Amino acid sequence: MPSIACASGKGGTGKTTVATNLARIMAYERDTHLVDCDVEGPNAHHFFTLESTQRSPVHVPVPHIDLSHCDLCGVCSDACAFHAISVLADTALVFPELCHGCGVCAYICPRNAITERPRTIGSVLEATCDGMAFTGGSLNPGEPMPPPIIQAAKKTARGRDYIIIDASPGSTCATVEAVHGTNFCLLVTEPTPFGLSDLRMAVGMCRRLDVPYGVVINRSDLGDGRVEDYCKEEAIPVLGRFPSDRCIADVYARGALIVDHNSAWEDRFRGLLMALDRLLKREVNHG
Partner 1 sequence: MKTAFTVQAKGPDAPMDDRFGRATVYAIIDDDSDDPNYLENPSLSSSSGAGPASVEFLSRHGVRKVVTGNVGPKAARALRAAGITVYRAQRGNLSENLAALQANTLERIDLEQPGSSPNRGPDRARS
- Rounded Cα distance, 41 and 193, in Å: 25
Q: Which pairs with CB-CB distance under 8 Å and at least 24 residues apart come from 258-266?
A: 258/17, 258/21, 259/21, 259/24, 259/25, 260/24, 265/21, 266/25
Comparison of 83 and 278: residue with beta carbon closer to partner 1: 83
CA distance 232 to 238: 9
- Closest approach, Cβ 179 to partner 1, in A, equals 21
CB of 77 vs partner 1, minimal distance in Å = 6
Residue 276's H or E segment, with its range, is helix 263-286
Q: Return phi, psi of residue 82, to 5°.
A: -115, 10
Task: Provide, rounded to whole angstroms, the least separation between the CB of residue 83 and partner 1.
Answer: 3
At its nearest, how many Å lie between partner 1 and the CB of residue 66?
A: 16
Residue 150 φ then ψ, to 5°: -65, -45
Nearest residue to 2 (alpha-carbon basis) of 271, 185, 203: 185
Which CB, 82 or 107, lies closer to partner 1? 82
Q: Give the shortest CB-72-to-partner 1 separation in angstroms.
A: 11
In this structure, the number of other CB atoms found within 10 A of the CB of residue 238 comes to: 17
Kindly tell me which of 68 and 285 has the beta carbon lying closer to partner 1.
68
Let me know the angle formed at the C-alpha of 156 by 102 and 165, rounded to the nearest 5 degrees: 90
In contact, 171 and 201? CB cutoff 8 Å: yes
Q: Which residue number, 27 or 145, has a Cβ lying nearer to partner 1?
A: 145
With CA atoms as reference, report the closest residue to 137 among 244, 234, 57.
57
In this complex, which beta carbon is closest to partner 1, that of residue 95 or of residue 194?
A: 95
33 or 100: CB nearest partner 1: 100
| Nearer of residues 90 and 233 to partner 1, judged by Cβ | 90
We find the least distance from the C-beta atom of residue 145 to partner 1, in angstroms, to be: 10
Kindly report the number of other CB atoms within 10 A of residue 278's CB atom. 12
Nearest distance from residue 286's CB to partner 1, in Å? 37
Contact positions vs partner 1 (CB under 8 A): 74, 77, 82-84, 86-89, 91, 93, 95, 97-98, 144
